């Protein structure tokens, strides 16, 4: 293990703060390290392994497709892309899909489409937002420490306080192409908006002819107890982004839009060599099929149970527990780093975001017994 860690420290860019274990295997909600130690995984590859590590449907879909055809480019038609596009159109309120390879790329595609479709240039994003690290996605990501070293970013982006619809109303100008929001802020610390927020923003966007982009990269595919986060508030975006859990870890992202919007992206306006490859689409079809085996409902129920159990922990340093489905944050009045390290030592993987928020985004297949174990360790 020491050799592998040293190799990565020597040869890989040092842009990540890694926890000191080498993971070699995963099943369901459990991963195993090189020394054979097992951990209950409350991170799930950052809300990616929703159907559990190495779900049989995902593994067999990848194996079968890998033996048939891995890649062709978008110069040709393929069956997995056809079937996945139809599936996404059915499980979202959107009509058409553009395939790419990550959440960041999905956001880039959404920003480009918004400019193309509206003929306008500017964007409004929220404080605490996270939409990715490429120049466009970073331009609508609020965190100063991520942005500052790479300025100038794209111009015309205004940040407004999160969960304040009036601030969006005030910020919209005749140049505003779109408002971009996460339905529940993820990296910003699992921030859940007030019940009327997204609905009011939707109305404001309609009244001012502004597009609404909802970034479902982290909240999608059952994470919050619904297929997509915006369903909690009965709101539909004009453009949406997906990635993280879509391929269970096989890289795939998607940007989807309603028909009128999608028609504005013309031949040559956007492209990706790998986007929607047969193998990536097969992994996503396997994932969606696994989710359809009752996992969305299970996320809601297990999330309610997990939140109830976490709320039962009474400690001075716990400020609040909040979440929807299995997207849960525990806000502390101190740094969570020491707890993350101690929990790992006792077989539970967690992380701490925004400095003081412990994040719980386990595979949706996590059992009651595993949740009990996590709560016991935290206690």
Ligand X SMILES: *Cc1c(COP(=O)(O)O)cnc(C)c1O
**Contact residues: ligand X, CB under 6 A:** 102-104, 107, 130-132, 182, 186-187, 215, 217-218, 243-244
Closer CB to ligand X, residue 134 or residue 289? 134
Q: Which residues, at least 6 apart from 207, have a Cβ–Cβ distance to it below 8 Å?
A: none
Shortest gap between Cβ of 149 and ligand X (angstroms)?
18
3-state secondary structure of 227: coil
Tell me the β-bridge partners of 321: 330
Of 262, 286, 272, give the one whose Cα is nearest residue 101: 272
What are the C-alpha distances in Å from 240 to residues 105, 231, 332?
12, 13, 32
Closer CB to ligand X, residue 141 or residue 298? 141
Shortest gap between Cβ of 46 and ligand X (angstroms)?
6
Closer CB to ligand X, residue 163 or residue 215? 215
Closer CB to ligand X, residue 41 or residue 187? 187
Shortest gap between Cβ of 107 and ligand X (angstroms)?
6
CB 374 within 8 A of CB 40: yes
Report the C-alpha dihedral over residues 352, 186, 191, 91, rounded to 10 degrees: -140
What phi, psi does 27 have (nearest 5°)? -140, 125
Bridge pairing between strands 176-182 and 211-215: parallel
Closer CB to ligand X, residue 30 or residue 160? 160
Closer CB to ligand X, residue 103 or residue 362? 103
Shortest gap between Cβ of 354 and ligand X (angstroms)?
13
Shortest gap between Cβ of 125 and ligand X (angstroms)?
11
What are the C-alpha distances in Å from 120 to residues 114, 169, 192?
8, 17, 29
Shortest gap between Cβ of 32 and ligand X (angstroms)?
25
Going across the sheet that includes 357-360, the strands are 318-324, 327-332, 357-360, 351-353
Kindly provide the b/e burial profile for residues 126-162, where b requires at least 16 CB atoms within 10 angstroms of the residue's own CB.
bbbbbbbbeebbbbbbbeeeeeeeeeeebeebbbbeb
Shortest gap between Cβ of 186 and ligand X (angstroms)?
4
CB-based closest residue to ligand X: 103
Closer CB to ligand X, residue 215 or residue 300? 215
């Amino acid at each position: 293990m020491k050799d592998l860690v040293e190799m990565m420290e020597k040869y890989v860019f040092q842009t990540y703060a890694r926890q000191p274990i080498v993971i070699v295997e995963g099943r369901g909600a459990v991963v195993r390290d090189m020394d054979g130690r097992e951990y209950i995984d409350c991170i799930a590859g950052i809300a990616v392994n929703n159907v559990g590590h190495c779900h049989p449907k995902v593994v067999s879909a990848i194996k079968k497709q890998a033996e048939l055809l891995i890649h062709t480019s978008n110069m040709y038609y393929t069956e997995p892309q056809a079937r996945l596009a139809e599936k996404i159109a059915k499980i979202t309120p959107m009509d058409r899909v553009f395939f790419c390879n990550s959440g960041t790329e999905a956001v880039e595609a959404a920003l480009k489409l918004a400019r193309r479709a509206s003929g306008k240039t500017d964007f409004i994003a929220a404080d605490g937002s996270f939409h990715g690290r490429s120049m466009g996605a970073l331009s609508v990501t609020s965190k100063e420490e991520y942005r500052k070293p790479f300025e100038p970013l794209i111009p015309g982006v205004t940040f407004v306080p999160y969960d304040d619809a009036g601030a969006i109303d005030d910020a919209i100008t005749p140049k505003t192409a779109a408002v971009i929001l996460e339905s529940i802020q993820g990296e910003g610390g699992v921030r859940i908006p007030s019940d009327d927020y997204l609905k009011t923003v939707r109305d404001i966007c309609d009244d001012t002819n502004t597009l609404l982009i909802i970034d479902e990269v982290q909240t999608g595919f059952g994470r919050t107890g619904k297929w997509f986060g915006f369903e909690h508030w009965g709101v539909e975006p004009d453009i949406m982004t997906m990635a993280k859990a879509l391929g269970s870890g096989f890289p795939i992202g998607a940007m989807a839009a309603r028909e009128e919007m999608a028609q504005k992206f013309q031949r040559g306006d956007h492209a990706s060599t790998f986007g929607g490859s047969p193998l990536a689409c097969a992994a996503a079809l396997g994932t969606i099929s696994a989710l359809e085996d009752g996992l969305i409902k299970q996320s809601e129920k297990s999330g309610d149970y997990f939140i109830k159990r976490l709320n039962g922990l009474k400690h001075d340093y716990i400020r609040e527990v909040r979440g929807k489905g299995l997207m849960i944050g525990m806000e502390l009045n101190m740094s969570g780093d020491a707890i993350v390290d101690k929990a790992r030592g006792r077989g539970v993987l967690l992380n701490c975001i925004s400095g003081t928020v412990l994040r719980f985004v386990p595979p949706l297949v996590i059992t009651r017994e595993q949740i009990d174990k996590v709560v016991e360790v935290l206690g």
